[in-house]
């Protein structure tokens, strides 16, 4: 099998959210354009280096994401015996940019809420700011992911890489938004990640909030949670792999 034949099997096996699946398809396509649609065992380090050098000039986050995707693809193929080695392991992963998270303030969140009409976008904002969910995690939410039998309520979240995590619903206003949801249907099936980003940005501008985004609501949740919880607990709530990622919020 060639790389383009193997990649869909890997993407399916990882159970990616739709937006992440699309990104992985693009990353594999770009890799294949450089190294060729060859048998995985025929990919050598020189091919990987040629592909990696072609990413020069792109943002650190873009390069990190592409490198980790190809590294994980080859690890999976090694495990299945499709190739004896993982040449991508030779490339060092660039460090994450040391940038302070750009969170909304309490006052800005109040203004945003006041201009957001009742409906799906209120749920989106509540999930991001009240539970710290990423947009892909919001889009994958289903009505029966909310457990109202527990106290506090629990919400099942599908994290990056197909991981599943159960989180408490501790925000009263998020609980209010979740209270009337249907229990079995997909909640935001009519939307995609780009739409959520654009819609929230439009509402922020209407509220007079500049230089913020949907992800800024997740940052708000992290900072708010750190006022009430130890950093390792916030790491769990945010779904961060590294405690250092969560620790960036402590300096703010």
Whether 243 has a pLDDT exceeding 90, the answer reads no
- Is residue 186 very low, low, confident or very high in pLDDT (cuts 50, 70, 90)? low
pLDDT tens-digit readout, 156-184:
998 877 789 999 999 998 999 888 777 65
Split at pLDDT 50, 70, 90, the class of 250 is low
Tokens at 47, concatenated: 């091919």
The answer to the question of residue 98 being in a domain is: no
Q: How confident is the model at residue 69 (pLDDT cuts 50, 70, 90)?
A: very high
Strand pairing category for 164-168 and 154-158: antiparallel
Report helix, strand or coil for 17: coil
Q: What is the DSSP letter of 97?
A: P
Other CB atoms within 10 A of residue 180 CB: 7
186's torsion region: left (phi>0), alpha (psi -120 to 50) or beta? Answer: beta
Give a yes or no: residue 24 inside a domain.
Answer: yes
Residue 244 lies in a domain: yes
Domain count, the chain: 2
Residue 135: is its pLDDT beyond 70?
A: yes
pLDDT tens digits, residue range 11-33?
999 877 676 788 899 999 999 99
Contacts 24+ apart (CB under 8 A), 204-213: 204/108, 204/112, 206/115, 207/108, 207/111, 207/112, 207/114, 207/115, 208/111, 209/104, 209/108, 209/111, 209/112, 211/102, 212/102, 212/104, 212/108, 213/102
| Cβ-based neighbour number of residue 81 at 10 Å | 8
Check residue 96 and give its pLDDT.
Answer: 62
- Indicate whether 97 belongs to any domain: no
User: For 63-76, what is the mean pLDDT?
Assistant: 93
Q: Residue 163: inside a domain, yes or no?
A: yes
CATH classification of the domain holding 236: 1.10.443.10
**Sheet-wide strand order for 164-168:** 146-147, 154-158, 164-168
pLDDT for the residue 117:
92
Range of the domain at 39: 3-90
Beta bridge partners of 28: none
The reply to whether 79 and 115 lie within a common domain is: no
Q: Does the residue 30 lie in any domain?
A: yes
37: pLDDT strictly greater than 70: yes
Are 116 and 228 contained in the same domain?
yes
For 108-129, what is each residue's pLDDT tens digit? Answer: 999 999 999 988 899 999 999 9
Shared-domain flag, residues 73 and 116 = no
CB atoms within 10 A of CB 172: 8
Residue 44's CATH number: 1.10.150
34 located within any domain: yes
Q: Give the per-residue pLDDT at 249.
A: 67
SS3 of residue 166 by DSSP: strand
Contact 27, 52 (CB under 8 A): no
From residue 9, how far is each of 1, 24, 43, 85, 140 by CA, in Å? 11, 12, 18, 19, 21
Amino acid 57: pLDDT: 84
- pTM comes to 0.62
d(CA 196, CA 201): 8
Q: Is the pLDDT of residue 5 over 80?
A: yes
Average pLDDT, rounded, for the chain: 88
The answer to the question of residue 100 being in a domain is no
């Amino acid at each position: 099998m060639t790389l383009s034949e193997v990649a869909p099997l890997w993407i399916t096996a990882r159970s990616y959210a739709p937006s992440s699946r699309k990104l992985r398809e693009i990353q594999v396509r770009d890799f294949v354009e450089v190294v060729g649609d060859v048998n995985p065992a025929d990919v050598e380090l020189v091919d990987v280096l040629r592909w990696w050098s072609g990413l020069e000039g792109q943002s650190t986050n873009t390069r990190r994401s592409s490198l980790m995707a190809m590294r994980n693809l080859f690890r999976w193929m090694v495990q299945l015996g499709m190739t004896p080695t993982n040449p991508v392991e030779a490339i060092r992963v660039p460090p994450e940019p040391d940038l302070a998270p750009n969170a909304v303030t309490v006052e800005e969140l109040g203004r945003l809420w006041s201009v957001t009409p009742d409906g799906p976008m209120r749920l989106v904002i509540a999930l991001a700011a009240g539970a710290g969910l990423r947009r892909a995690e919001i889009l994958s939410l289903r009505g029966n992911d909310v457990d109202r039998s527990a106290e506090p309520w629990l919400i099942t979240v599908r994290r990056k890489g197909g991981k599943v995590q159960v989180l408490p619903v501790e925000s009263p206003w998020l609980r209010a938004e979740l209270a009337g949801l249907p229990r079995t249907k997909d909640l935001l099936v009519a939307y995609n990640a780009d739409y959520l980003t654009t819609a929230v940005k439009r509402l922020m501008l209407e509220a007079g909030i500049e230089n913020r985004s949907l992800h800024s609501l997740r940052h708000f949740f992290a900072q708010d949670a750190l006022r009430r919880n130890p950093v390792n607990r916030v790491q769990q709530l945010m779904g961060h792999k590294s405690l250092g990622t969560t620790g960036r919020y402590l300096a703010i």
